[in-house]
Structure 1
Amino acid sequence: MKDTDIYKTITKPSPEVLFKDRNSKFFGYAFPVTSEDEVKHHIDVLKKQHHQARHWCYAYQFGMQEEDLVYRANDDGEPNNSAGMPIYGQIQSFEVTNILIVVVRYFGGTKLGVGGLINAYKTGAQLALEASTIISKTVNIDYAISFDYKNMNKVMRIVKEKHLNIINQTLELSCEIIISVRLKDAQSIFEIFDALYEINIKKLND
C-alpha cells in the first residue's frame, strides 16, 4: 500500500534541456515552487533570458496530498491543450508535486500541427524531469511542546524513545521545543504529550 504521507518533488532547478523538431527549438526547465509568486518569478526570468522566443508554456502543481493539490496548465498562445496539458501530464506521470515546468519555444518556420506540438511539449517536460534530481519527502506536522525545566527529562525521554526530530528549542526555566512528526505518527505523538502532567503541546501548521 502506498504511504499517503510521502510525496516526490525536486529541491533545485533542473539543468536546461533542449528538444528540436523541424527547426523549432523547445527548451525545458523544472523548478521547485510552492506559490504562484514563485511561478511568476521563474517565468519572468525565462522571458528575459529567452526574449526572442515565441511561447513560454508551463504547468505547475502545489500540494502534498491529493485533497490539497492545486495545479494549472498554460498554452501561452499555442493551440488549446497542445502545450500546457502535455507538460502537466508529465508532472502526473512522474508523480511529482511542488514543481513548475516551463517549455520555451523558438518557432523554426515550419508548423508542427497539434500532434507535433503535443509531442514536443511533452518531450521537453519529460527531458526536464529526467534531468532533475527527484526526491521523496514526508508530509510532517510541527508541534510546539512547552514545559518547566523540572520536566525536561520526562519530555526528552519521549523524544529519544520515539526518535523525534527537534527543529528548534529554548531550554531555560520555561522551556519550549518544536518537533516535526510524520503525518501518520502525528496523532499518537500528540496524545502521548497531551496526556503528560504539566506539559502543553500545540500544533503549529495547518
Structure 2
Amino acid sequence: MAYNIPRGWHQTRLEIKKSSFIGIAQHVADREQAMAFLKQVKAQYPDARHHCWAYLFGDPQMPVSVAMADDGEPSGTAGKPILNVLQHNQTGDVMIVVVRYFGGIKLGAGGLVRAYSGSTQMTLESLPTVAHVVLVKRHIVTDFKHEQFLRHFVDEHQGQIDKVSYDHRVHLTLALPETALTPLVSLAGSMGFTVYPLAQQ
C-alpha cells in the first residue's frame, strides 16, 4: 500500500483568544524517533505552557501504532483531538506536536478541542508530503551473470538491496514495491534465477 509521509519539519501558528497554538509536524517511523522529535520541540519552545502531541505509524487507514498525550491540558481536550484529525487524513508515519502559549483567557473544554483540532488540521492541510511505498522483501539466488541485471532492476523499480553474499552463486536480499514482484517472478522464469519469500531463504 502507498500513502503519503511528511517531507520534513513543518509548522503553522493559530491564534485563538490570545493563546497561540503552534502546530509542528514531522516524519517519524517509530516511537524512538517520535520521542526525539518531541524533545527537539520542547527544546525549541521551552517556555510554552503545553506540548501536546499524537503520532500515527504506518498506513493512516490501518495504522500499526498510535499514541497521544494531553501534557497537562484537561483529559481528552488535546491529544485525542490531534489524533482524531490524524486518523481522518491521508498522511502516515507522522507526529504532530501542538505547542500552546496561554494568553490568559480560558477556552473551556470545547474550545480546547476545537483549538487543538484546528491547529492540527491547519498544519496537515499545508504539510508538504511525499509518496511512501511499502516495500516487500524477497531472497534471490542467481548466477553471477545476472547480478548486474538484477541490480539495475531494483534501481528501476525504486527498491533496495539489503544484503548480498556469494558462494558458487549470488544471494541477494531485495526490498521491492509489490508492483515489481510480478515482473520479477516472470523474469526469474525466463532467466533461470530463483525467488524466495524471505522466510524461506
Provide TM-score, normalisation by structure 2.
0.80
Given candidates 107, 120, 138, the residue that maps to 1:125 is: 120
Aligned to 1:144: 139
Aligned to 1:12: 8
Shift in alpha-carbon separation, 1:116–1:132, aligned structure 2, 3 A: same
1:82 and 1:118 in contact (8 A); partners too: yes
Aligned to 2:84: 89
Map residues 168-179 of structure 1 onto 2, 5 A cutoff. 168=161, 174-179=169-174
Given candidates 191, 195, 199, the residue that maps to 1:201 is: 195
2:160 and 2:176 in contact (8 A); partners too: no
Q: Secondary structure at the match of 1:47?
A: helix
Question: Shift of residue 199 of structure 1?
Answer: 2.9
Q: Secondary structure at the match of 1:97?
A: coil
Matched, 1:78 2:81: no
What one-letter code is carried by the residue in structure 1 that aligns with 2:160? I
Shift in alpha-carbon separation, 1:48–1:184, aligned structure 2, 3 A: same
1:193 and 1:201 in contact (8 A); partners too: no
Shift in alpha-carbon separation, 1:78–1:68, aligned structure 2, 3 A: closer
1:59 and 1:102 in contact (8 A); partners too: yes
CA deviation digits over 1:42-77, x for unaligned, max 9?
A: 111111221111111001000237555210121111
What one-letter code is carried by the residue in structure 2 that aligns with 1:8? N
Question: Where do 5+ consecutive residues of structure 1 fail to align?
Answer: none
Aligned to 1:47: 42
Considering only aligned residues, what root-mean-square deviation do their CA atoms show, in Å?
3.1
Distance in 2 (CA, whole Å) between partners of 1:76 and 1:9 is 25
1:57 and 1:76 in contact (8 A); partners too: yes
Shift in alpha-carbon separation, 1:146–1:166, aligned structure 2, 3 A: farther
What one-letter code is carried by the residue in structure 1 that aligns with 2:79? G
Identity %: 26
Question: Where do 5+ consecutive residues of structure 2 fail to align?
Answer: none
What one-letter code is carried by the residue in structure 2 that aligns with 1:136? A
2:135 and 2:159 in contact (8 A); partners too: no
Number of aligned positions between the proteins: 194
Question: Shift of residue 184 of structure 1?
Answer: 5.5
Distance in 2 (CA, whole Å) between partners of 1:66 and 1:19 is 27
Distance in 2 (CA, whole Å) between partners of 1:166 and 1:69 is 22
Aligned to 1:167: 160
Provide TM-score, normalisation by structure 1.
0.78
